[in-house]
Amino acid sequence: MIYGANGFTGELTARRAKMQGMKPILAGRNEEKIKALADELDLSFRCFSLEDKALAEYIRDVSVVVHSAGPFSKTAKPMMEACIKANTHYLDITGEISVFEDSQRLSHKAKDAEIVICPGVGFDVIPTDCLAAQLKLKMPDAIHLRMGFDSKGRFSRGTAKTSIEGMPQGCKIRKNGKIKTIALGALDRNIDFGNGVKLSVAIPWGDISTAFYNTSIPNIEVYMPTSIGALRSMKFANYLRWLLASSFIQKFLTNKVDQGPKGPDENERKNSPMYVWGEVENAVGNRVTCRIKTNNGYDLTVNGSIACANHLLEDYEGDYGTLTPSQLAGPNLVERLPDCGTFMFETFS
């Protein structure tokens, strides 16, 4: 089942799954839109709200749910809990740290139900999660992990809204095993993601949560490119976080997003590859870096979520509980996805 199939990424996933000969059940709250898409693709559909007390009954006969309806900070936990009750595997495409942390707290219940909970089976966080796992294999004694990505691709409405929701919360890093909040723009450095050195700034990316459970590395930071002007604006925004948190400003900004395009079209996606970089360092200062080039984040999300769903559908014999994508399907998962490259390593002593 694809829940949220009428959203930008959900619809892309439904269309790609159909092209690959799969027959997912399309689901969501908006019956008109879900039915129209299901009729077009000749697929079955169900319409229900995540607030329905009988939520588990709608998915009890489903083997895997690919949850694509954000904002995941509000929608993920009800679906995860319903999947546990229904003994149904759960996947989603979130990048939100709070969702990853919630999923870990449900791990023991998922084990008891003999299901997998695996959030982040898209660009958030397949390539970085696999990269973190690969770097840990190269340097088992690493105590610092720094990662980042670069792309010029445009956000979908859902991703933009998630970013707006997170703005008042500041930046997140992991320090000595604990998630810490720091000021926006507080950490910056120059990084070559694989397409030239760029000024980059720390961001609150999902790997601040997932990479710790994947690698046990206690200090984690994630970066993306920025400009000097944008970095200054980010630092100034720290004085306005109280204002950005107000319901009026949040509503105003999300309404502006709704006035824009639903998401990047096929041509934009084709011309927006991702460059992913990572670095581990041990206590004596030895370092290993890794880079990989992938296709755009949306197509990677579609292919990644379908690959993880198929992995669970094909006589899955792995661990149960809460897993990261590389724990579920292996540290080379991203290399197996269409139009993705291979890991390139460098070692520094």
- pLDDT of 95-106, one tens digit each? 999 999 999 999
pLDDT of residue 87: 98
Are 99 and 162 in a shared domain?
A: no
Instruction: Tell me which residue range forms the domain holding 83.
Output: 2-122+299-330
pLDDT exceeds cutoff 50 at 199: yes
Are 211 and 274 in a shared domain?
A: yes
Q: How far is CA 207 from CA 128, 154, 202, 315, 347, in A?
A: 7, 21, 12, 28, 22
Are 157 and 276 in a shared domain?
A: yes
Are 286 and 310 in a shared domain?
A: no
Are 70 and 186 in a shared domain?
A: no
CATH number of the domain within which 117 lies: 3.40.50.720
pLDDT exceeds cutoff 60 at 257: no
Q: For residues 77-90, give the mean pLDDT.
A: 98
HSE value, Cβ hemisphere, 13 Å, CA-based, for 250: 14
Are 186 and 291 in a shared domain?
A: yes
pLDDT of residue 250: 65
CA dist 137 and 133 (Å) reads 6
CA dist 64 and 54 (Å) reads 18
CA dist 1 and 284 (Å) reads 48
Domains in the chain: how many in total?
2
Cβ atoms within 10 Å of 342's Cβ, excluding its own: 10
pLDDT exceeds cutoff 50 at 283: yes
Instruction: Look at 74-88, 134-148, 259-273 and tell me which has the smallest mean pLDDT.
Output: 259-273
Are 45 and 164 in a shared domain?
A: no
Instruction: Look at 77-91, 254-268, 330-344 and tell me which has the smallest mean pLDDT.
Output: 254-268
Return phi, psi of residue 318, to 5°.
-90, -165
| pLDDT bracket for residue 156 (50, 70, 90) | very low
Q: For residues 2-20, give the mean pLDDT.
A: 96
CA dist 60 and 288 (Å) reads 45
Mean pLDDT score of the chain, rounded to an integer? 91
CATH number of the domain within which 226 lies: 3.30.360.10
Q: For residues 28-49, give the mean pLDDT.
A: 97
Q: Of the candidates 152, 158, 159, 163, which has an alpha carbon nearest to the alpha carbon of residue 270? A: 152
Q: Where are the beta strands (DSSP E) in 70-196?
A: 89-92, 116-118, 144-150, 171-175, 178-182, 188-192
Q: For residues 250-274, give the mean pLDDT.
A: 74
Q: How far is CA 302 from CA 71, 101, 146, 289, in A?
A: 18, 23, 26, 27
Q: For residues 41-57, give the mean pLDDT.
A: 96
DSSP class of 227: -
Cβ atoms within 10 Å of 221's Cβ, excluding its own: 23
pLDDT exceeds cutoff 60 at 129: yes
Are 9 and 68 in a shared domain?
A: yes
pLDDT-above-90 percentage for the chain: 80
Are 8 and 85 in a shared domain?
A: yes
Are 236 and 93 in a shared domain?
A: no
Residue with the larger pLDDT of the pair 344 and 244: 344
pLDDT exceeds cutoff 90 at 181: yes
pTM of the model: 0.92
pLDDT exceeds cutoff 90 at 234: no
Contact present, 290 and 277 (Cβ < 8 Å)? yes
Q: For residues 188-209, give the mean pLDDT.
A: 95
Beta strands 197-202; 188-192: pairing state:
antiparallel
Are 261 and 278 in a shared domain?
A: yes
Are 65 and 155 in a shared domain?
A: no
pLDDT of residue 146: 98
